[in-house]
Amino acid sequence: MEPVLEAKHVRKVYGSKGNVYTALANISLEIYEGEFVGIMGPSGAGKSTLLNVLSTIDQPTSGEVMINGRDLEDMDEQEMSLFRRNQLGFIFQDYNLLDTLSLRENIILPLALAKHSVAEIEEHLDFVADVFSIRPILDKYPTEVSGGQKQRTAASRAIIANPNLIFADEPTGALDSKSAADLLESFCSLNEERKSTILMVTHDAFAASFCKRILFITDGEIYTEIYRGSKTRKEFFQKILDILAKLGGNMNDII
């Protein structure tokens, strides 16, 4: 089986000459279709930098990143823009919703811009509205709903085009515990029912316990990885805490 995402010897260095900071030292990894993978590590370990490089938001200083067999370095700006729109989904801590549009309009915007038919748009909207349990609030505006509802709307917009790969950067960071659990349960449904491939950066062991595999990084390198396998989510949560403790994470990193 070919990986959906493959990184080979990826480095990311900031600065120059005597003032150099190595954010990613030597990262190689593979993500396969239908995986739900978490990236964890202490503050400053390079988690978000890695996600940005893997998701085309940033470029590596050296090394290769390939998505669906395509080398990102080979694409020009227009090709990259279309590739992102058609094949990738992005969910961030900030919702990035347009306050002048209803939640329905925010969600369908990517499909409307791509000139999909009304029937296609309605079919996709029905699916995401059910997955993220937001059908009753579709006609409300972002200023009229809670943070959790905004994040579920943002997630719906990210996956409405059925992307091959979904990137989530601290998606539960601004949510209360119930809203976070609701969002993560929706991610699990999406992963199991649609076989969506999800790569999520989180500092939160509770959020990470919903994943099937977790990569731990420290000092810009992969420290270890673990699989949930047949473990219960509670058992996996404890395993995550044990590894974070070894990495020297403070309390903000592990709760």
Ranges of each domain in the chain: 5-254
| Banded model confidence at residue 250, pLDDT cuts 50, 70, 90 | very low
Average predicted confidence (pLDDT) for the chain: 91
116: tokens are 């999909």
pLDDT at 251: 36
Q: What is the pLDDT of residue 124?
A: 93
Residue 218: partners with Cβ closer than 8 Å, 6 or more residues away? 41, 42, 45, 247
Distance between CA 202 and CA 48 in Å, rounded? 9
Q: Which two tokens stand for residue 161?
A: 């085009």
91, exposed or middle or buried, with CB in 10 Å at 0-12, 13-18, 19+? buried
For the stretch 134-183, pLDDT in tens is: 999 999 999 999 999 999 999 999 999 889 899 999 999 888 899 999 99
Instruction: Look at the domain 5-254 and name its fold.
Output: Rossmann fold (3.40.50)
Collapsing DSSP states into helix, strand and coil, what is residue 195? Answer: coil
- Give the strands of the sheet with 213-218, arranged side by side: 88-92, 165-169, 197-201, 36-40, 213-218, 221-227
